[in-house]
Structure 1
C-alpha cells in the first residue's frame, strides 16, 4: 500500500495532480467543520506556498516506504489536529480530530485523483481504482482512525460521496476565499520575490483561469448548493486544462518531479543548494521581462519588500503587523497567528514531543502577555492600531522565553551552540558572515539577541523573514 510501487506515487509527480489537489482542497473547504477550521486557524491565504510545501512533505512521509517515518508523521499530524477545535460563525463546533471529518479529507483526495484521470480522457480501470482506494484507506488507518468512517467497498464509497456532496457541503467562508480571493490575489512565491510586475501580470492572467477551471470541475450538486456561477465556456476551458496537463506528462521526467518544482518555487535570495545558480539566472531574466512588461503596459503592483535588506532596515509597526504577526491574514493578531508560527518552526525542525509542546507553550505564554498588554477593547484579539500604539515595548519575559525555547529546540545536540547544520535546518541557509563565531557556531546569547531584535525591534532579517513572512 505504501512505497514507490503504490498508485499514489504514480500520481504524485503527474502534472494533472496539481489540478486535482486544488479541487480536493475546495471540496474540503466546503465541509462546514473543515471550512471553519481553515478560516480560523490556517495561514493558507497569506502563506500558500509554505502550506503547499508542508502538505507535500507530509504526504511523502505518509506514503513512503519507511514505517518509522510514517508513524512519526502520523503522530505529528495527530498532535497538530488536536490543537484545532472551536466554533464557527453560526456557533457550530468543529474538531480536526473528528474521524468523520478526517475521512472526508481522504475521500476528497481519492475522488479528485479519479476525477483528474476521467477529465483528461484516461479514466482508471476498476482494478486500479480499487487499489488506489485501498491505499487511501490504509493512509487513514495509519493515522490511527478506526475502519468504518470510509466505506469498505468502492460502490459504497460513491454512495457516501454523493450523499456528502448533496447533503453536507455548503458555501463556507473558506470556500469563497479559495475561489475568489486566493487565486486572484495569490502572493508571489520566494522565487519571484522582487519581481512584482512579472508576478502580477502572470497572476492576473492565470488566477481567474484556475478559479474557473476549479469551479467547472466540481460536482454539479455542490455548484448548485453553493450558488457558484455557471460561466459560458467554463466546461471547455476545464477540459482543455486537464488535457494540457495530460500532455505535459511527455516532458522529461526531471521536470515533473513535484519536490523539484516546489523546491524551486521556495528558493529565496541567499538560499543554498544546486538550484541557487538557476535562481540567480531566473531572477535576472525575470527583472528584464518585468521591465519590458512595464514598457508595454504598466501594471499596478502594491509595494513589496523582498526581505533582502540588511539587518539595520526597519519596518513600520503596520508593516511588521501585516507581514509577520498576522499569519492568517484576517487583519488581527490572536492565538491562531502565533500557533501558525509555532507550527512552521516545528515542521522545519521535525520536532517530536516534548520539544514541540514546549515551543507551543512558550508561544501561548507570549500570546497571553500580548493580549494583556495590547487588547485595550477586550475583544480577545489585537488590531493593528492596538499593536502600533505600544509596539516599541513588547520585548517582555514571555518573548524572551520564546527565543530561549527556540534556541533549545534548534540546538539538537544540546551543546549550547547552534552549528551550521542546525542553523540550516531552521533557516534553510548557511550562516551569514556575522552570525557564527570563530568556530562557526552561534551562541545562545547571539541567537536570542537576533530573535528579539527581529520580533520586537521590527528589524528586517535575512533568516527570520523567510521563516515567518515568506508566502
Structure 2
C-alpha cells in the first residue's frame, strides 16, 4: 500500500530566511554541489540534448551561473509574488525548449519527469555536500529540506506528481534514475572535459589572460576530478568515467576546505557580493572599482613576470594592457563579432537558439511579464528570418561564420530596428521616453557614466536605437552595449 502524502505545510513557511535551504545559498560548498547537480542533470538524455541545442553554458558560463543564482534567490525567497513571477518566467522559458537529440529522440523541457529530476539533483547534491564536508544533516533537517524542494517543485508544477511525496520514497526513485536513465551524454562530457579547459575569464579578469590561464590550468583539472569523484559510483562505472588515483581523498579535502569558509566574515562569502565583484568593471562608479584597478595592475605585473619565468602558452584573449587591433580603431571584424556576439551557444553557427538566447537573456535581466517578453521574442524571431533570407546562402537553415563574413555585416534591416525599438520600450518602464539610471542598471547591470557631476543621466530613444544598431551590426564597439551580450 502506497503511503499517503504528508499533510501539506503552508508554502510560506518553507521559504525565506528560516528555511534549511537559506543557509546553503551563501555557503561556498554550494558551488560544488550545484556543479555536481548540473552534471547529473546533463546526464539525463533529454536535459543533455536541450543543453547542447539551446544553452549558452559553453560560451557564457558565468552569465548562466549568475542567472541561476538569481532565479534560486527569487524562488526560495519569502516574497510569494516574486516567486510566482519567477515560476511563470521559468515555465515560459522552458516551454520554448523542445526538439530531438542526435538519435532522433524527442526532448521537452516542460516534461514533468525531466523537471522533477532537476529538483532531485539539487536536493541530493545538497545532502552530499553536507555529508562530504563532515556535517551530515540530521533526519529532521533532511525531511524539512526535502519538503522545501518539493514546495519549490510544486511552485513550478502545481501537481508535483513526478517527484515522490516523501523522503522515504525519494531514494528508490533516485537510485532507479541513476541506474536506468542516465547516460554519458555529450553535454556531460563537455562540462567535465572541455568546459574547465576553455572556461572564459569572468568580467573582473578580462584583459588578464596570462593570470587567468595559469589559474585555470591549475584549478580546472582539480575541479573536474572532484566533481567526477563525487558522482554516484554506479553511474561512474556505467558511463566509463575515469578513476583518478587519490580522487576520493582530493574530493573530501576540497569539501572540507570549502566548509572552513563558514568561519569567515559573512560579507566575504555572501553570494551577492561575490557575483557582483566578478562582474565589476574598472570604470564602474562602484567604490570598489578603485581597489579593483590597483589589483588589476598588480596582476598584470604578476602575469608579465610569469611569462618571463615559464614557457606557459597563452592563446586566449588579447595581451594584458593592450586591446586587439579591432578594438583599437573602434571596430570589430566580422568573424570576431560573429564569435563574441552572435554565436551565443558556441557551436560555430548562427541559428534560432542563438537568437532566442539573446531574447532570453534580456528578458531575464529586465524580469519581463508575459506580454512584453512575447513582444521581444517576436521581434527577435522576425530579425532571425531577415538574417536567414539575407545570409543563409546554402539553405541549411543556419548561418556559418563564413557566410556571415562574406556578406555585409553592417546589414541593419527593418527587423533589427524593430528589435531596438521593442527593447527600448520594455526597458523604459515608466514610459517617459527616456531610460533613467534605474532602468539603465536593470538592462546593463552597471551604472551610468556621468560626464557632468550633478546632472541627471538619461538615455533618449533615438540615442539608444542608434547605439544598439551600431553595436549589433559591428559598426562600432560601443559602451555599454559591448558587454550586453558578450560577457562570460
1:161 maps to 2:174: yes
How far apart, in 2, do the equivalents of 1:435 and 1:20 lie? 46
2:406 is matched with which residue? 389
Q: Please tell me whether the aligned partners of residues 307 and 460 of structure 1 are also in contact (alpha carbons under 8 angstroms).
A: no
Counterpart CA distance in 2 for 1:130 and 1:221 is 25
Q: In the alignment, does 2:372 pair up with 1:343? A: no
Question: For the Cα contact (< 8 Å) 2:285–2:449, is it kept in 1?
Answer: no
**For residues 298 and 427 of structure 2, what CA distance do their matches in structure 1 show?**
37
Q: Unaligned stretches of 5+ in structure 2?
A: 1-13
Does the 8 A contact of 2:467 with 2:481 survive in 1?
Answer: no
Cα deviation for residue 85 of structure 1 reads: 0.8
* Alpha-carbon displacement from aligned partner over 1:309-342 (angstroms, at most 9, x marks no partner): 9795111111000011000000000011111111
Q: How many Å separate the matches in 2 of 1:50 and 1:183?
A: 15
Name the structure 1 match of 2:373.
356
State the SS of the aligned residue for 2:370.
Answer: coil
Match of 2:214 among 188, 201, 210: 201
Residues 337 and 474, structure 2, Cα contact 8 Å, conserved in 1: no
Q: Secondary structure at the match of 1:468?
A: coil
**Contact 1:312-1:459 at 8 Å conserved across structures:** no
Q: Spell out the pairing of 1:140-219 with structure 2 (5 A cutoff).
A: 140-219=153-232
Does residue 456 of the first structure (1) align with residue 473 of the second (2)? yes
- Offset at 1:307? 8.3
- Provide, for residues 411-450 of structure 1, a one-character-per-residue CA deviation record: whole Å limited to 9, x for no partner: 11111122222222211233346899x8632221111111
Partner of 1:104: 117
Stretch of structure 1 that moved more, 157-166 or 410-419: 410-419
Q: 1:433 to 1:14 in 2, by over 3 A?
A: closer
Give the alignment's TM-score, normalised by structure 1. 0.96
Quote the offset at 1:284 in angstroms. 1.9
Q: For the aligned residues, what is the CA RMSD?
A: 1.9
| Contact 2:333-2:474 within 8 A present in 1 as well | no
Q: Does 2:416 match 1:403?
A: no
Q: Select the residue among 119, 132, 149 that pairs with 1:119.
A: 132
Question: What residue is the counterpart of 2:102 in the other structure?
Answer: 89
Task: Report how many aligned residue pairs link the two structures.
Answer: 470
Cα deviation code 1:364-393 (max 9, x no counterpart)? 111111111111111111100000011335
**Change beyond 3 A, Cα 1:274–1:80:** farther
The CA deviation at 1:143 is 1.2
Partner of 1:221: 234
Q: Deviations along 1:334-369, whole A, 9 cap, x unmatched?
A: 011111111111111111121111111111111111
**Mean Cα displacement is larger for which, 271-280 or 358-367?**
271-280
Match of 2:144 among 131, 135, 143: 131
Aligned to 2:314: 301
Kept in 1: contact 2:284–2:446 (CA 8 A): yes
TM-score (norm 2): 0.93
What SS class does the counterpart of residue 15 from structure 2 fall into? Answer: coil
Whole-angstrom CA distance in 2 between matches of 1:269 and 1:375: 39
Higher alpha-carbon deviation: 375-384 or 243-252 = 243-252
How far apart in 2 are the matches of 1:434 and 1:335? Answer: 39
Q: Distance in 2 between matches of 1:421 and 1:311?
A: 31
Distance in 2, matches of 1:66 and 1:376, equals: 50
In 2, Cα distance between the equivalents of 1:31 and 1:362? 33
CA distance 1:435–1:174, shift in 2 (3 Å): farther
**1:86 aligned counterpart, secondary structure:** strand
Please say if residues 334 and 474 of structure 2, whose CA atoms lie closer than 8 Å, have aligned partners that are also in contact. Answer: no
Which residue is 2:384 aligned to?
367
Q: State the match for 2:9 in structure 1.
A: none
1:412 — aligned with what? 429
Between the aligned partners of 1:123 and 1:94, the Cα distance in structure 2 is 35
What does residue 394 of structure 2 align with?
377
CA contact (8 A) 2:284 2:449 kept: no
Alpha-carbon shift at residue 276 of structure 1 (Å):
2.1
In 1, Cα distance between equivalents of 2:88 and 2:120: 21
